[in-house]
Chain A
Amino acid sequence: MSDGYTPGTEAFTMVPAGTQASDKPATRRNVPTRGGEANPSAAQLVAKFGPAIVRTWVGCGETNVVVQAERIHDVIQWLHEDHGQRYEYLVDVTAVEYRDAGRPLEVVWHLRSLSFLRFLRLKVELPVRGPLVVPSITDIYSGADWMERECWDMFGIRFAGHPDLRRILLWEDYREGFPLRKDFPLRGRFSRAEQLKQVLAADPEARYSKEELTIAEAFDSLPEDMRRRIATDIASGDDEFGE
């Protein structure tokens, strides 16, 4: 698959800082608003992976490819490493849940090839009621780390193989569920009184993770109940609303 080509090394031109012009010609037109050309990678993906590619279409000038969940890691790895694809740049990892409860939840990857100036959207469809698990691509793109954590935080999608899948924007013992799911009310699951109670009960010392307290050798000196809570809560990431 890859013959010694390290993604991201060849395509770039090194220009000294200062007023030198970029050598990329400014010839491309604005992105079309309707339709547009299909990204050739879509057809090549179908040829390469066959039945693993569920469907492809072009909308708003962007090419969408729906991939089977179990093959998404292989597909992204191939797109990243193949000479003809060179998707060096991971733009975004996110998810979409539709208001129509019958529609599957979609995990969305936006990839960009800086060498060929292409943009590709990959999707995996997951049944809303089923296990929300997709493979992590942190081994391909280091930038996927926080994006996947945010996706877990907001949607409860597990990224199998992620080295450190913790909540990122919300605090680690947040118990109300996953905010961007459509069954999550805008004001949260708990009443204001309950939320206030939890905030007042929170111990500022517990804002350090077990890992961090171990560095400071402070973990062992914590009270027994706090030690138990930190040790059990953080590693699991489970709560009653997940899955």
Chain B
Amino acid sequence: MSTRTVEVELQQTQLDALGNVVRAPLVVAERGGTVGAASPLAEPGLESDHMLINIGPQHPATHGVLRLVLELDGETVVRCIPHIGYLHCGFEKIGEYRQYNQIIPWTDREDYLNSMGNNVSFVLGCERLFGIEITPRCTVLRVIAMELSRIMSHVVWVGTTAVDIGAFTPFLWIFQERENIYNLLEGWVGARLTTTGTRIGGMAADIPDGWLEGLQAFVRGFYKTLDETDKMLTKNAIWSGRTVGLGVMSPVDATNAGLSGPMIRASGVAYDVRKDFPYLDYETYDFDVPVGLHGDVYDRYLVRMEEMRQSCRILEQAIARLPDGPINVNDPRVILPPKSKATSEMESMIHHFKLVMEGPRPPAGECYVATESPKGEKGYYMVSDGSAKPVRWRIRPPSFVNLSAIPQMVEGHLLSDVIAINASIDIVMGEIDR
């Protein structure tokens, strides 16, 4: 073993006159096993073998049970081989043995940070199979549900990523807001994490009295928390030093790899399902789609922060326009009769019994419904053969596709940057493994 001194030049983060981070072009460390003439460290006797490093499946920074096998040259990642499936429990297979309404609880458990959003996406697909138009009040309530889930998921993302990178304070501040959202959801549907808040043709429950005021108070307070988090992180030299220029995906690469959500938007592609393939009348809301310029971890952070603000804007508009009226459609194929009738009238009781025991039967057909989940394009592809159970229930998991690009993103970066890049993808293993 020979000893050597390596001089490390610390790169100070520069701020311009407006206080924005000045970006330097990313310098990627020399790659590959050939420590040859090009490398300044090429001294005889310093070549070393590549090392195999295993991260996960039980590692706090992999956000679940992701396992990465990394080939390292010194500290530089030469190759990354991801292994997934530790949480696989066959949601899609189980769904083929369940009635449509019985699948809704399963959708809670795939992307459990966005359970309400998944519920909505799934029933949107069922309703398209049935050809049901939901009521105006239900449409607005579902928008509220989806945007609350988006904020909740992004809040968890900012908090955990900040912890990964070494900032603990934002985690505490912003998780308080997550608690507030959970309290709101608890008041609405009775559950906090696994909400199961929707039914085909409507919602499980209407919002209780005074709930909108609580939502309004949350939105007002959340702007403040966002500003505080923004102050803590956005111009923080450590934060930008650990995120700027990492894991860059060009617009073409990001599109080709099928990335979606904040991942593709940070790369400069303004693809948002809410704008491009609208559902739930999203085209009538006034909101902007933030788009990054560099496609690195820092831009993904900026995009998500801005998305939370836009979600708040949507929430404010939804509160203002929420109409009165029924939340469930008047369609006996999917909606149970009122309980008072089911216990007093024979026909209603039979109707109730058949709907619960046999389940709603959509006509034969297939549809793919895409919604913009916090992670990206969450799609449900459903094939019905006219029976009460789907022939095929396919989840298009955005995290799965986003994670599949991780070798492309981490190769050439340092081992410590793998944590930041992996965090920036915003993976939820429940959704990836299903």
Instruction: Give A residues with C-beta under 8 Å from B.
Output: 6-9, 12-24, 26-31, 33-34, 59-62, 64, 88-92, 94, 96-100, 108, 110, 114, 117, 119, 121, 141-147, 150, 154, 167-171, 179-180, 184, 186, 207-209, 211-213, 215-218
Contact = CB atoms under 8 A, between A and B. Distances in A.
Interface of B: 49-52, 69, 71, 79, 81, 83-85, 88, 90, 92-94, 97, 127-133, 251-253, 255-259, 266, 268-272, 275-284, 288-293, 299, 302-303, 306, 309, 365-368, 370, 377, 379, 381, 383, 385, 387, 391-392, 394, 396, 400-401, 403-405, 408, 433-434
Contacts of A168: 84-85
Q: Is the interface of A mostly helix, strand, loop or mixed?
A: loop
Top 3 A-B pairs ranked by shortest CB distance? A143-B258, A216-B52, A169-B85
Nearest to A26: B283
Given A6-B252, A142-B258, A146-B400, 12 more contacts: A8-B251, A26-B284, A31-B279, A34-B131, A60-B129, A60-B365, A64-B366, A91-B377, A146-B401, A209-B81, A216-B51, A217-B49
A26 B275 contact: yes
Contacts of B51: 216
B370 A18 contact: no
Contact of A33 (B81, B128, B288): B128
A186 to B, nearest CB: 6
A24 B396 contact: no
B394 A179 contact: no
B306 A91 contact: no
B371 to A, nearest CB: 11
9 contacts: A19-B288, A26-B275, A28-B283, A96-B366, A96-B383, A141-B257, A142-B256, A145-B404, A169-B84
A60 B128 contact: yes
A146 B128 CA distance: 28
Contact of A169 (B281, B365, B405, B433): B433
A79 B132 CA distance: 32
Contacts of B268: 12, 14-15
B293 to A, nearest CB: 6
B278 A8 contact: no
B277 A117 contact: yes
Contacts of B127: 33
B283 A9 contact: no
A98 B391 contact: yes
A208 B280 CA distance: 46
Contacts of A14: 251, 268, 291, 293
A181 to B, nearest CB: 10
A114 B83 CA distance: 30
